[in-house]
Amino acid sequence: MFSSSILGVAFLAVLGKTVSAQDDVITSDEFFYGDSPAVYPTPGMDENGTWGDAMSKAKVLVDQMTLEEKVNLTGGVTSETGCSGFIPGVERLGFPGLCLADAGQGVRSTDYVSSWPSGIHVGASWNKELARQRAHFIGSEAKVKGVNVLLGPCVGPVGRVVSGGRNWEGFSVDPYLSGGLVYETVSGIQGAGVMTSTKHFIGQEQETHRIPSSSGDYVEAVSSNIDDKAMHELYLWPFYDAVRAGTGSVMCSLQRLNNSYACGNSKSLNGLLKGELGFQGWVVSDWNAQHGGVSTALAGLDVAMPNSDGFWGEYLVEAVNNGSVTESHLDNMATRILTSWYQLKQDQSGFPKPGYGMPLNLKLPHNVVDARNKSAKSTLFDGAVEGHVLVKNTGSSLPLDSSKMKLISLFGYSAKAPNQNNYEDPAGDASFSAWPMGAESGNLEELNVGFFGNLSHSYASISPNGTLVSGGGSGSTAQNLISAPYDALVAQAHEDGTALFWDFESGNPSVNPTSDACIVIGNTWATEGYDRPSLRDDFTDGLIQTVADQCANTIVVFHNAGARMVDTFIDHPNVTAVIFAHFPGQESGKALISILYGQSNPSGKLPYTVAKNESDYGALLKADMTLATDRYQKFPQSEFDEGVFIDYKHFDSLNITPRYEFGFGLSYTTFGYADLEVVKTDVQTQVYPTGDVVEGGQEDLWDVVAHVTVKVSNTGDRDGKEIAQLYVGIPGDDVPAKQLRGYEKSLIAVGETISVDFPLTRRDLSVWDVAAQIWKLQAGEYQLFVGSSSRDLPLKGTLTL
């Protein structure tokens, strides 16, 4: 473990750098030297840990390899499969290579797989058990297809920038909520025999400036300048959980971290990931995120994707031969890769040939490898249902009563399936076609322009050509089937004898005045490559107001990538209900109609905060953009000055009342809370942990210090699921007023009372001590709050340590 206080001070150095207005434009990277400390050498692996047997097998195999064969493992190659990346095999030794495939929402860009709810949808479910079930089936489908490594799940970005283009790929803006869900996801996927590559490590919180730009003067990728305390308590937090779950791989990110590229940052890769967190697997670069040769190898990068052209390959062979990189270090790189292969038992005969079911071109004849599993249907549906969040329901307008629905009018572009759901080659000079990138309903031209960093283009806020079941880019799902809301509503109306009118195009439609209900379905589009231009759009807001002016029972639904402003219409007396439907995957329509008609009771809660005004988010509303007149125009900077105070912690610190707080969500029933009790365990509570570093950090960080129990009752007239939430106020200065430290989702029958237990670990109650470079458990009084959201916390107590 690297515990020198010097490292912590150096990690903060970038935040203290000051310049005057008259200073010249910075043209050399030398200006930033020392912003991120050097941590060498790369830590070795734990031969006595849970990966010990796999490591022994890997070392035997590596010892039989030539120098060139070991080097070949460290760079991707082109294969004859549809895998996103491929690590070449060593045929003579029986190693077949590894197929790497997108992504965290299921196997992307292939046929005969399922389209699963996206990360933010899982986050909105707050359901750890369901997250593991989803992950198991995702991993099972990947295995059938011959995928060795799934490039996910995603816990970075955390969601610092409210309009971040990839926030929807992750679970939540809260690291504790994300940590619990990523643990279950890694466990579920790897339990099915497929490695996870948890991403993106670390600090890639915006798409703007995410990659270097060579149009005109060369501009480096943005630098995320993160202090040591925020790094540990926020951005690194869910990676602790992923490593503890045994993730076989971690993907390093595209941007710079404290002015050193993340895939060559020795402090983060050697010091934090492989040192402090005890990570035993291998680090793979995001595509084209390698920017150095010897330096990246020594910093802790193990595999470069999609290849290592210009940096490794023959140059890495030369570096080993001339002593710039020791062969023992190369052995460590190769051993990490093969250890994961053995650990997941992919060496055994039951694992398919890498890329077996991933055709290179779906337009050409190919074998049918159907990875779908009928037993997954209930998980697909339940996952879609539970990520819907009901935030307004005036006068119990929902659920709809089939016997009273004589006429329903349906409006909005996100109600119907896109006109096309089909694989095709990219057109002309375009890099991408729509289907593999989740852009069938969006503007493909914009995605092709924005993916590579065009900052001058004006991007749309919505996907106007159909419903959304995921966002865009490498994190999108493979749509082999879509249940759109319109299709599911037609089936329900046919069953009930309800008349339907609809208009999916007009922003100013006429409404039949005899409509019993009017449903307006819009969306918010987000994709890899560029950040969202806005948290609202005039077309959809105008459509909602037009319909509400004509219909006394107007229900609004958004398929949203994250926070969506509602202030222009939320107080309209005829807007009776609002649902944030997120990205539900293929069962979208069926899930929504099940909720609207009360066949399912809504149980999702917001994994982010919805503000009343955009300005309430402060400087984190939009990504940092560095313009040509700026001193840092060649080296864009993003200063994370807010520390850990993002989302609800920001709102709490400034006493800003949100529209809908973090953790908020309505149900068709009601719940009551009572009888908070605190019981300390006999675990030692000395100031600093003393345990050995294992996967997930020092082992006693995970010791349970206390249990908080409460009683939760269903006081309404429907069975329903409630998410009980525990928040802790940790003593000290410059700490949030409260932080999520427990959540449990339970099905509670009408009239039933259950007991909910929240175990609190040493890590849950600790702060990061920058000077001592270790987690610190303070003596003092810890405030405890339990309830149904971050601002509805009727039960209060204390824990004294």
| CA–CA dist 418, 115 (Å, integer) | 15
Q: Are 169 and 158 in contact (CB under 8 A)?
A: no
SS (H, E, C) 97-153: CEEEECCECECCCCCCCCCCCCHHHHHHHCCHHHHHHHHHHHHHHHHHCCCCEECCC
| 711 secondary structure, DSSP code | E
| CA–CA dist 57, 335 (Å, integer) | 9
**For residue 797, what are the CA distances in angstroms to 342, 499, 640, 678?**
48, 54, 33, 8
Place of tokens 């293929």: 586
Q: Are 70 and 331 in contact (CB under 8 A)?
A: yes
| 597 secondary structure, DSSP code | T
**For residue 26, what are the CA distances in angstroms to 22, 59, 220, 447?**
12, 46, 12, 31
Known catalytic residues?
286
| CA–CA dist 407, 440 (Å, integer) | 30
Q: Are 293 and 311 in contact (CB under 8 A)?
A: yes
Q: Could you count the other beta carbons within 10 Å of the beta carbon of residue 487? A: 17
Return the SS3 of 404: helix
Q: Are 437 and 476 in contact (CB under 8 A)?
A: yes
| CA–CA dist 79, 52 (Å, integer) | 31
| 396 secondary structure, DSSP code | G
| CA–CA dist 525, 559 (Å, integer) | 8
Q: Comparing C-alpha atoms, which of 572, 641, 567, 645 is closest to residue 610?
A: 567
* Beta-strand relationship, 795-800 and 781-787: antiparallel
| CA–CA dist 346, 143 (Å, integer) | 10
Question: How do the residues of the chain divide into helix, strand and coil, expressed in percent and rounded to 5?
Answer: 30, 20, 50
Tell me how far the alpha carbon of residue 349 is from its chain's centroid. 33
